[in-house]
Structure 1
Amino acid sequence: MHAALSLSRGIDRLNNGIGKLVYWLVLAAVVVSSVNAVVRYSINYSSNAWLELQWYLFAAIFMLCSGYTFLRNEHIRIDIVLGRFSKKVQAAVDVFGIIVFLFPMAILIMWLSWPMFKDSFVTHEMSSDAGGLIRWPAKLLVPVGFFLLTAQGLSELIKRIAFLAGVTDQPGGAMHGHS
């Protein structure tokens, strides 16, 4: 169990580091959006590349932070019923949800999105819009994002099982709610 918890800490560090790096993409998205709007309205010039760059940055923020969001327990939950149960019941429900819902969904999307990225990369797919960007970087974000989510799911599963086995006092951060 200690080796598994060590793996969990490594996954947590990876997703935490990526999450903190992606904070800078938020700033980049704001700058790109602002400059694009100012240029468009001040000198009546626009470029599809700038619009697509905004879209790529938003996609990167969303996809790369899915594992980070799970790590910080900031994902959407509806705890009207579950919040009334003990931490052990909550952890058991989380184990079930990770195994039955998260892993199959995330692994399937990761698996199905890889050929789409690969095809886009091999064919040098470009945007159909004039002046648009290459498409493969945006398509790569899907399998990478779901890989990070799957990895964080494994980390959370390890922490919940360690908690249920009595090895740890708390499965990571706050179970259901903000820390």
Structure 2
Amino acid sequence: MDSPIAGKIDRCVTFIGMAAGWLLFALTAVVCFDVITRKFFVFQSTFLQELEWHLHTVIFFLAIPMAYLRGIHVRIDILRDRMGDRGRAKLELIGLFLLAIPFTLFLLKYGIDFVAQSYAQNEGSTSMQGIHHRWIIKSIIPIAMLLTLLSLIATVIRGVLFLAGKGPVPEAFARKEIAAVAVEEIR
């Protein structure tokens, strides 16, 4: 049985991550338009190039929390692969408390300061044709860190429930073979 709190966090983070995925269509359109106009019409736009970076940033940062919850983030852990479910759960919880949660809180705090400083300075593009109000794109850092923190909290709840024998192995750290994940995602 899953925790109601962890389930709500999961649904919220997944909704936001999937919504950000739709921005891939906008990013593709902007890149195609930029390449075609630059190649055939000798039209170069700083605005379009900056928009590409901004869209890519939003997509990437909003996908991180969802990727963690699904256990499809990058892992390089030889020791972990040799452990059973309970060992992986314990290792994951230790990593969450010692590394992931403190680092995410650090980035959240300094991300807020980063946005506030950018807003106070009315920071914008160095190009007159670029995107102004840099604080808007910089605000994705604390937003993403808040969503990541929520993902980590949901995983802690699920990990504790699993270790107490009251829940299944959390998807965030269940053993997955790369090919199996790819096939499952296609379905």
* TM-score when normalising by structure 2: 0.89
2:149 aligns with 150
- Structure 2 CA distance, aligned partners of 1:85 and 1:17? 32
Cα deviation 1:56-105 (Å, max 9, x = unaligned): 00100111111011011111112322111110010000000111110111
Q: How many percent identity over aligned positions?
A: 25
1:54 aligns with 52
Cα deviation 1:11-43 (Å, max 9, x = unaligned): 100111011111111111111001001011111
Amino acid at match of 1:165: A
Tell me how far 1:124 sits from its aligned partner: 2.6
- The runs of 4+ residues in structure 1 deviating greater than 3 Å are none
1:8 aligns with 6
- Structure 2 CA distance, aligned partners of 1:176 and 1:39? 47
- Structure 1 CA distance, aligned partners of 2:172 and 2:72? 11
- Structure 1 CA distance, aligned partners of 2:46 and 2:90? 48
Tell me how far 1:173 sits from its aligned partner: 6.1
1:115 aligns with 113
| Equivalent residues of 2:3, 2:158 under 8 A apart | yes
2:124 aligns with 126
Q: Secondary structure at the match of 1:131?
A: coil
* TM-score when normalising by structure 1: 0.93
1:106 aligns with 104
- Structure 2 CA distance, aligned partners of 1:169 and 1:9? 13
Structure 2 gap segments, 5+ residues each: none
C-alpha RMSD over aligned residues: 1.7
Q: Secondary structure at the match of 1:46?
A: coil
2:30 aligns with 32
Structure 1 gap segments, 5+ residues each: none
Q: How many residues align?
A: 177
Tell me how far 1:8 sits from its aligned partner: 0.6
- Structure 2 CA distance, aligned partners of 1:66 and 1:59? 11
Q: Secondary structure at the match of 1:166?
A: coil
1:170 aligns with 169
- Structure 2 CA distance, aligned partners of 1:69 and 1:48? 31
- Structure 2 CA distance, aligned partners of 1:119 and 1:47? 27
Cα distance change of structure 1 residues 173 and 120 upon mapping to structure 2, 3 Å threshold: closer
- Structure 2 CA distance, aligned partners of 1:48 and 1:33? 12
| Equivalent residues of 1:109, 1:143 under 8 A apart | yes
